[in-house]
Amino acid sequence: MVLIEDDKVAKTFPSKGYLLSWMRILFKQTKAHKQDRSMRTLNRVGLVTPEPLGVLNFYPGTSPYEAALLYRYVHEIVDVSEALKGAKRAKILRNLERELAVMANNGILFVDFHFRNVMADPEGNLCWIDVEVKEGMKVVRKSFWSRIVRMNEDCDPGVLSEEEWQAFQDGIRSQLNDPGRFLRA
């Protein structure tokens, strides 16, 4: 990630080789393209991400990079694992419950959900980063809870107490349009 102006960032992604990079660029399937589309998808359902500004493709064979995602830098935010140590812990957890349910109810699965891919401002409002989503109710219903459990067990173990973990799951379930259709945690 490179700050290119006061408020603009370029996040670069490595080349996958000459031919594969050409194909990925041609069909807009680079990681930069996927994250740009994913950020816009979350924005459409009312969730906050850094403002996507577009994708810059590199000429394969001339750079170690395939593409760069350009977006606005967001000031005064910290990752949620850090923010949860502060006074806004309960608000942040409620916001996480609500926003995860918004994604699920809209057929959006955040692929790499963990507390370091969600940022919080000083007021406890969230901003989603490193965004890559899959869309479709079938994939969400199949994988939603396994992603949430993975976050608690593998990515961020011990951040939530057992009581908080149970309340977190219950809070999400209460906001799902049809909780019985999602595979159980």
Do 85 and 173 have their domain in common?
yes
Domain boundary among 72, 91, 117: 72
Do 47 and 86 have their domain in common?
no
pLDDT tens-place values along the chain, 185 residues long: 888 887 999 999 999 899 999 999 999 999 999 999 999 999 999 999 999 999 999 999 899 999 999 999 999 999 999 999 999 999 999 999 999 999 999 999 999 999 999 999 999 999 999 999 999 999 999 999 999 999 999 999 999 999 999 999 999 999 999 988 887 76
Using a 10 angstrom Cβ sphere, with 0-12 exposed, 13-18 middle and 19 or more buried, the burial of residue 16 is middle
Which domain covers residue 20, as residue numbers? 2-72
Q: What phi and psi values does residue 81 have, to the nearest 5 degrees?
A: -60, -35
Q: Report pTM.
A: 0.93
Do 55 and 113 have their domain in common?
no
Domain boundary among 29, 48, 72: 72
Supply 32's token pair: 């930069």
Does an H or E element contain 104, and which? Answer: helix 89-105
Do 65 and 118 have their domain in common?
no
Do 100 and 123 have their domain in common?
yes
Do 51 and 122 have their domain in common?
no
pLDDT digits (tens, 9 = 90+) for 29-72: 999 999 999 999 999 999 999 999 999 999 998 999 999 999 99
Q: Residue 105 contacts by C-beta under 8 Å, 6 or more apart in sequence?
A: 175, 176, 177
